Structure 1
Amino acid sequence: MLVSDFHFDLPEELIAQQPPAVRGSSRMLAVDRATGALADRQFTDLPSLLQRGDLLVMNDSRVLPARLFATRAGLTTQHNSPAPSGHIEVLLVEHLSNAEGHNEWRALVKPAKKVQPAETLRFDETLSAQVIAAGEFGERTLRFNLAGTAFYEGLDRIGHLPLPPYIHRDKAAPNTSEDRERYQTVFARERGSAAAPTAGLHFTPEVLEALRARGVELATITLHVGLGTFQPVRVDRTEDIRLHAEPYTLSEATACAINRATREGRRIVAVGTTTTRTLEHIARITPAGENVAAHSGSTSLFLSPGLNDRFLLVAGLLTNFHLPQSTLLMLVSAFLGDAHSEESDWGRQAALRAYAHAVAERYRFFSYGDCMLIT
């Protein structure tokens, strides 16, 4: 398939710039996976739309204040302000394991041409980093002078949450106090993501409690959202798409919950595409007939119609509305089409019909927008 096959027209005014006034008050488009039938609902209807015994799996990764502003060593302009000319914007996207114990990160840097290996970036009086490698499309590897608690305290002090570029904020104030609360899920625990797992932003403690009362089992995995979220698709054919690997952890408790649900024939419902990719990757690396086991690893799994389009664990998906021609829309299309293997293009067409309905009904799109439930 062509990437352009996943295009749809989206009026700019439907791109949500702010979260809903009350967390959990979003609209939700319910999609029947078997028929493609659509129903306009509210997110708070979720407990009534799931079945007793369903296992709902959420991504508990916490977004880092990973957007930083630096000056190149030797320059005397004020540190850590996005406004003055000559400053360098840095987005931390992945922590790199290092045998020597150095605190190294893969980052996106702009303007990238000014920042070359061996250069030092200064973020404030205590935090700095040396550029140790350069990659394509503005990628740089940075080695920081601080590590551990001191490093994360520095991020908390001077960093900004990395809101997506389609959410517009004043350059002098990249986040609002509302962003700092609402661009995290209420169940976020493990810090490490460069973007929020946005399907989880709708949940409130009250909805979680209503799910438990319904008899829905809750579990978490951790996948730290990284570089792939910020890099546009740069190829024409879906078979040429390669995703960056992102680290994940499957706990013993969640592995046991997955094995019980599978053994008992209960549905596994994923909250978000990050959770879906993680679960489906785990299913693919687990030998046939064996239980999944607790472990940590990384995944670059790409799910799209005609490519890795069989879903082995996930039977339901809660997800936000995604960008045109994005790998996330391709995943949704593959999930819708999984029950229609005899009709190769059914899933893509069903996804685009659902998106056309969402546009016509004025749903809000992307990170702070509304959601859809596919079961």
Structure 2
Amino acid sequence: MFSLTDYTYDLPEDWIAQKPADNRDRSKLLHLSRETGKCSHHTFSDIYDLLSPSDVLVINNTEVIPGRLFGKKDTGGKAEVLILDYGNRCKANPSGPGDKKNGNVTYNCLIKASKRPRPGALLFFDQGLKAEITDFNDGIHTVKFSCDDNFENLLYQVGNMPLPPYIKRNLSQNEACNDKISYQTVYASQKGAIAAPTAGLHFSEKLLEKIKSKGVKVVAITLHVGYGTFLPVRVSDIRDHQMHSEWYSIPGGSADIINHAKADGSRVVAVGTTCVRTLEYASDDNGYLINDSGNCDLFIYPGYRFKAVDAMITNFHLPESTLLMLVSAFAGREKILEAYQKAIDKKYRFYSYGDAMFIE
């Protein structure tokens, strides 16, 4: 179970969702029992019936920034820039050179161009936004942006959502699917992610209110999904893989509610692998949390003992990905792969804009 090839499966390309369901909570939901491996098929809004009034539902309130910028180099060639540390930089230094409210900010970025720009090179974007490459190290460029006014306001005007590469878009036809709305949870409030916590995309405001009216406590934590979410595992033995760290925060009120649930024997239900990793990283051996913030680099794969999370809602993940390894650790690799095959047979939609699983 430690070989990378243990986490592969065949998926027809047509099963990769290119846009979300017409209504967030009308996507499909596969219900998987960890104990028996039994599967049943539902609509996502049925999660209301699958949750118990005593449950605590933990959501990730990170907000995806439109941090994908298309511009030109001073030599005339095209350049695509992806801001990597927007949330981290602003949290760590809210009034310094990384302040998003200033006209001059510096971030770490990925740059795609026909020829790698060197330090000192200039980049030009729409509406007067400019940038200078100041450093390059280990595949990452340090980029100093400059504009006449508020950088964040301008970024939200000219930037694009950093969709995963398997979601194809014709830029002239983006309005056919408004990714700035659909690739964002309805409860997103903390700016900083470069990918959505996709399990949360299935919740509508109406469904969340209905769940709360049942007695379920809904609490928010933050993990800014980062660069590591795009990185493939490149080692044959998965135990040799090193996760990139991502900034997280657990407010005191959320920690208290989760800890009371653990003490009472109630379930902690994590919405998405980002919540799972954060809760497990920040908990003690008994699954109790403290209000804290920092950088999470926890890699969960089979053999891991879960301490805080009792059930999870998650999407269907890419073959050989760390996310597939995490859900395999939670429910068992064989049960997960069997459930994935059943989902394929039932024509579930896969990946970020795809359907969901509830594992309990």
Query: Do both proteins adopt the same fold according to a TM-score greater than 0.5, normalized to the shorter chain?
Result: yes
In structure 2, do the counterparts of structure 1 residues 269 and 235 end up closer, same or farther at CA, with 3 Å as the change threshold? same
Residue 320 of structure 2 corresponds to residue 325 of structure 1: yes
CA shift in 2, pair 1:289/1:362, >3 Å: closer
Instruction: Name the structure 2 match of 1:352.
Output: 337
Amino acid at match of 2:150: A
- Residue 346 of structure 2 aligns with which residue? 361
Q: Distance in 1 between matches of 2:196 and 2:286?
A: 34
Indicate the SS of the match to 2:325. helix
The CA distance in 1 between the partners of 2:227 and 2:7, in whole Å, is 21
Displacement of 1:255 = 1.1
Aligned counterparts of 1:248 and 1:130: Cα–Cα separation in 2 = 29
The answer to whether the aligner puts 1:300 opposite 2:301 as a matched pair is no
Instruction: Give the AA of the match of 1:359.
Output: I
Q: C-alpha separation between the residues in 2 aligned to 1:164 and 1:175?
A: 18
Q: Distance in 1 between matches of 2:79 and 2:295?
A: 30
Shift in alpha-carbon separation, 1:235–1:228, aligned structure 2, 3 A: same
1:324 maps to a residue whose letter is: P
Partner of 2:231: 231
Give, in whole Å, the separation in 2 of the partners of 1:38 and 1:217.
26
**Residue type matched to 2:333 in 1?**
R
Q: Aligned equivalents of 1:243 and 1:19: distance in 2? A: 28
Alignment-mate amino acid for residue 290 of structure 2: A
Contact 2:286 2:308 in 1 (8 A): no
The TM-score, its normalising length taken from structure 2, stands at 0.91
Cα distance in 2 for partners of 1:295, 1:21 equals 37
Note if contact 1:160-1:174 (Cα within 8 Å) is conserved in structure 2: no
Q: Which residue of 1 aligns with 2:242?
A: 242
Which secondary structure does the structure 1 equivalent of 2:30 belong to?
strand
The alignment-based identity, stated in percent, is 42
Given that residues 71 and 122 in structure 1 are in contact (C-alpha distance below 8 angstroms), is that contact kept between their aligned partners in structure 2?
A: yes
Matching residue of 1:129: 131
Give the aligned partner of residue 150 of structure 1: 150
How many Å apart are 1:213 and its aligned residue? Answer: 2.0
Counterpart-to-counterpart distance in 1, 2:46 and 2:302: 29
Cα drift, residue 146 of structure 1: 5.2
Contact 1:227–1:244 under 8 Å retained in 2: yes
Distance 1:109 1:175, change over 3 A: farther
Residues 290 and 184 of structure 1: CA distance in aligned 2, closer, same or farther (over 3 Å): closer
Q: Is the 8 A contact 2:315 2:354 kept in 1?
A: yes
Question: In the alignment, residue 81 of structure 2 is paired with which amino acid?
Answer: V
Aligned AA (1:178): N
| Counterpart-to-counterpart distance in 1, 2:32 and 2:208 | 21
Alignment of 1:120-269 (within 5 A): 120-136=122-138, 138-145=139-146, 150-173=150-173, 176=176, 178-269=178-269
* Structure 2 partner of 1:311: 306
What is the TM-score of this pair, normalised by structure 1? 0.88
Instruction: Report which stretch shifted further, 124-133 or 357-366.
Output: 124-133
User: Please, which moves more after superposition, 86-95 or 27-36?
Assistant: 86-95
Q: Is 1:116 aligned to 2:118, yes or no?
A: yes
**Deviation at 1:355?**
0.5
Aligned residue in 2 for 1:57:
58
Secondary structure of the equivalent of 1:114?
coil
Identify unmatched segments of 5+ residues in structure 1.
76-85, 337-346
Superposed displacement of residue 30, structure 1: 0.2
Q: Deviations over 1:195-223 (max 9, x none)?
A: 11100000011211221122111001111
Report how far residue 369 of structure 1 moved.
0.6
Q: Which residue in 2 is equivalent to 1:278?
A: 278
Query: For residues 268-299 of structure 1, what are the alpha-carbon distances to aligned partners after superposition, in whole Å with 9 as ceiling and x for unaligned?
Result: 0000001111111101xx4x579522121110
Are 2:86 and 1:101 aligned? no
Q: Assess if the C-alpha contact under 8 Å between 2:19 and 2:177 holds in 1.
A: no
**Structure 2 gaps, min length 5:** 99-104
Q: Distance in 1 between matches of 2:12 and 2:137?
A: 34
Q: Does the CA-based 8 Å contact 1:48-1:214 persist in structure 2?
A: no
Distance 1:11 1:20 in 2: 19
Comparing 121-130 with 42-51, greater Cα deviation is found at 121-130
CA contact (8 A) 2:262 2:288 kept: no
Aligned 8 A contact 1:161 1:175 in 2: no
Which residue number in structure 1 is paired with residue 35 of structure 2?
A: 34
Question: What value does the CA root-mean-square deviation take over the aligned residues?
Answer: 1.9
> Structure 1 residues 174 and 2, CA, compared in 2 at 3 Å: closer, same or farther?
farther
- Residues in 1 aligned to 2:147 and 2:308: alpha-carbon distance in whole angstroms: 41
Provide the C-alpha distance between the structure 2 equivalents of 1:312 and 1:301, rounded to a whole number of angstroms: 13
Offset at 1:322?
0.5
* AA in 2 matched with 1:225: V
In 2, Cα distance between equivalents of 1:264 and 1:270: 17
- d(CA) in 2 for partners of 1:205, 1:233: 36
1:195 aligned counterpart, secondary structure: coil
Aligned partners of 1:142 and 1:172: how far apart in 2?
27
- Structure 1 residue 101 displacement after superposition: 2.9
Q: Deviations over 1:219-253 (max 9, x none)?
A: 01111111012222222210111111110111121
